[in-house]
Chain A
Amino acid sequence: MSGKESAERELLRAVADLDSLPQGAYSLRRNGAGAALHSSECVTITRKEDKPGIDIHVRSAARGEKVYIPVVITDTGVEDLVYNDFYIEAGAQVEIIAGCGIHNDGGRESRHDGIHTFHVGKDASLIYTEKHYGQGDGNGKRVLNPTTVLHLEEGAQCTLDTTQIKGVDSTIRKTEAYLHKNAKLMVLEKLMTHGQQTAHSDMDVFLEGENAVAQIISRSVAREDSIQVFHPRAIGSAACKAHIQCDSIIMDRAQVRSIPEIGALHVDAQIIHEAAIGRINNDQLIKLMTFGLSEEEAEEVIINTFLQ
């Protein structure tokens, strides 16, 4: 197996828990071009004609089907911009596992900008999991800028679970969600930065329909000299509920900023924001050390469980 093949395998395992091409519907993108694509009975994936990217149609009959759409970059100097549009029909239940892994051994920047737009139909249910990961010994930066736009129709439910744990030098994440009547959104954002990395996350949630509910949980760990900026925003223009909870552990010489905005444009809009940034509590470390863990082991347990 060549070095690149081996790197690709590692990336696929890291971002999608895949050892080989999966069963069912999938799309694999490699070094800025579509590499493999497969549809299933309920999920049709087609390449876009006018720009890079795919259209994914999920039929109402889908019941918990998993669709894998990983992206791997193993060449240095790749600049990949991709538009993926998802159309999930009323009543469908689907899990989409996305993720991007960059292996950069070269001196030029490798970058993937994924613009994902979801149209989640009436009473449909979507679980969208996205993992970002970088590796490689080159000086070239590994950059990932995901944009996720969610339109949740009446009664639609969506869980957006995003993870960036390692190796991404720069990320600008943009998430926009529009919730109609009785729609439910759960966002879980997990982020760890180290070295000189920077991460910026903008999240705009618009609760436009009666009884729309949004829960946003963001947990991050900033280590060494990394910088993180969070800008969560929830605006309710109907009788709705939103709860944003941002927690960050700050370590070493890192910097974290959290700039929340909540807005109620209706008397029955209940919008709550909680944010905390702090170092690891000394009592937490000591507690785990009384179990025989070293200080470094205790720190890892605290960070890993915090991000789980």
Chain B
Amino acid sequence: MLELRNISFQVQEAGGSKEIVDDVSFTLEDGKLMVVTGPNGGGKSTIARLIMGIETPSRGQILLDGQDVTGLSVSERAKLGIGYAFQQPPRFKGLTVYRLLCLAKGSSMNRETCCEYLTGVGLCARDYLDREVDASLSGGEMKRIEIASLMVRNPKVSIYDEPEAGIDLWSFSMLVDSFNKMIRGRHESMLIISHQERIMELADEIMVVAGGKITQRGSREEILPGLLRNFQSGCAYRRGEAAL
């Protein structure tokens, strides 16, 4: 179980400090899938980076299975079972996809197993295992390899930061299927930052973050219909009141 207690994160700007995340508290139960959504710049990715230990909160506590991990490094949190898939994954010259997946796993893996993970994110595996994770891959390919690298780890808590970004529709469909398979009967929990209705439909819980605060939180049934209505009603074009 992952718990955030009164987490805040400030950055220094000209003229003072700015609260990017403001007193955020929530619990992610084992085996649950939480989708975090909300406007761009609202603090979602920062919350994910705070959980992984990439950023350090200015206040508050983060607990994993009751253990306070707030002061632990990224590596220590990874060993305890927190995993994170970057929104914009870095590229590595000379590092092959196969080696990256083995590093993610923490041990060597047979190539067939690697292929299964890559197929799960819509990549024709044999074409990719020996390719380098460098600028020769497109943004969408990088993104799918990033997602596969977190699936390989299968940590207690997986955090995916906008997994749909840059992925074509066909691959997105395969990705949704993969998430769907992963969540059935699992003990591990997932936190997915997403704006996609099809991913929200998989969620046990949905949390809306805006202006660094949690503005809504509840079960999918409670939150999703309202979000969809707001989107429809907030858009003049969709209401049929404006032309393009």
Is chain B a partner of chain A in the same complex?
A: yes
Pairwise interchain contact B93-A306, C-beta atoms closer than 8 A = yes
Complex Cα distance A305/B94, Å? Answer: 5
Chain B nearest CB from A150 CB (Å) reads: 25
Report A-chain residues with C-beta under 8 Å of the C-beta of B104. 291
**B95 located at the interface, meaning its Cβ lies under 8 Å from any Cβ of chain A in the complex:** yes
Pairwise interchain contact B75-A293, C-beta atoms closer than 8 A = yes
Chain B nearest CB from A249 CB (Å) reads: 9
A-binding residues in B (CB < 8 A): 52, 54, 73-75, 78-79, 83-84, 86, 88-90, 92-95, 99, 103-104, 106, 149, 153
- 8 sampled A-B residue pairs with Cβ under 8 A: A284-B90, A287-B86, A290-B83, A290-B84, A291-B78, A292-B75, A292-B78, A308-B94
Complex Cα distance A201/B92, Å? Answer: 25
Chain B nearest CB from A196 CB (Å) reads: 27
* Segment 232-279 of A: residues with Cβ below 8 Å from B: 247
16 extra interface residue pairs, beta carbon distance < 8 Å, beyond A294-B75, A302-B95: A219-B94, A247-B93, A283-B88, A283-B90, A284-B90, A284-B92, A287-B89, A290-B74, A290-B83, A292-B79, A293-B75, A295-B75, A305-B93, A306-B92, A306-B94, A306-B95
Interface centre among A283, A287, A306, A308 (most CB of B within 10 A): A287
Report A-chain residues with C-beta under 8 Å of the C-beta of B99. 305
Report B-chain residues with C-beta under 8 Å of the C-beta of A33. none
Pairwise interchain contact B54-A286, C-beta atoms closer than 8 A = yes
Complex Cα distance A301/B96, Å? Answer: 12
SS class, residues of chain A in contact with chain B: helix
Pairwise interchain contact B90-A289, C-beta atoms closer than 8 A = no
Chain A nearest CB from B35 CB (Å) reads: 21
**A62 located at the interface, meaning its Cβ lies under 8 Å from any Cβ of chain B in the complex:** no
Report A-chain residues with C-beta under 8 Å of the C-beta of B86. 283, 287
Pairwise interchain contact A302-B92, C-beta atoms closer than 8 A = yes
Given contacts A219-B93, A283-B90, A284-B90, contact A289 B103 (CB under 8 A): no
Pairwise interchain contact B93-A291, C-beta atoms closer than 8 A = no
Report B-chain residues with C-beta under 8 Å of the C-beta of A306. 92-95
Report A-chain residues with C-beta under 8 Å of the C-beta of B73. 289
The residue that A289 contacts in the complex, of B75, B94, B106, B149, with Cβ under 8 A, is B75
Give the 4 A-B CB pairs with smallest separation, nearest first.
A283-B90, A305-B94, A289-B74, A292-B78
Which single residue of chain A is at the shortest CB-CB distance from B74? A289
Complex Cα distance A302/B149, Å? Answer: 17
Complex Cα distance A3/B86, Å? Answer: 51
Report A-chain residues with C-beta under 8 Å of the C-beta of B95. 301-302, 305-306
Pairwise interchain contact A287-B90, C-beta atoms closer than 8 A = yes
Complex Cα distance A292/B104, Å? Answer: 8
Pairwise interchain contact A281-B94, C-beta atoms closer than 8 A = no
Report B-chain residues with C-beta under 8 Å of the C-beta of A293. 75, 103
Report B-chain residues with C-beta under 8 Å of the C-beta of A288. 103
Report B-chain residues with C-beta under 8 Å of the C-beta of A67. none
Which single residue of chain B is at the shortest CB-CB distance from A249? B93
Pairwise interchain contact B106-A305, C-beta atoms closer than 8 A = no
* Segment 77-133 of A: residues with Cβ below 8 Å from B: none
The residue that B90 contacts in the complex, of A219, A281, A292, A295, with Cβ under 8 A, is A281
**A213 located at the interface, meaning its Cβ lies under 8 Å from any Cβ of chain B in the complex:** no
Report A-chain residues with C-beta under 8 Å of the C-beta of B54. 286
Report A-chain residues with C-beta under 8 Å of the C-beta of B92. 284, 302, 305-306
The residue that B94 contacts in the complex, of A283, A286, A294, A307, with Cβ under 8 A, is A307
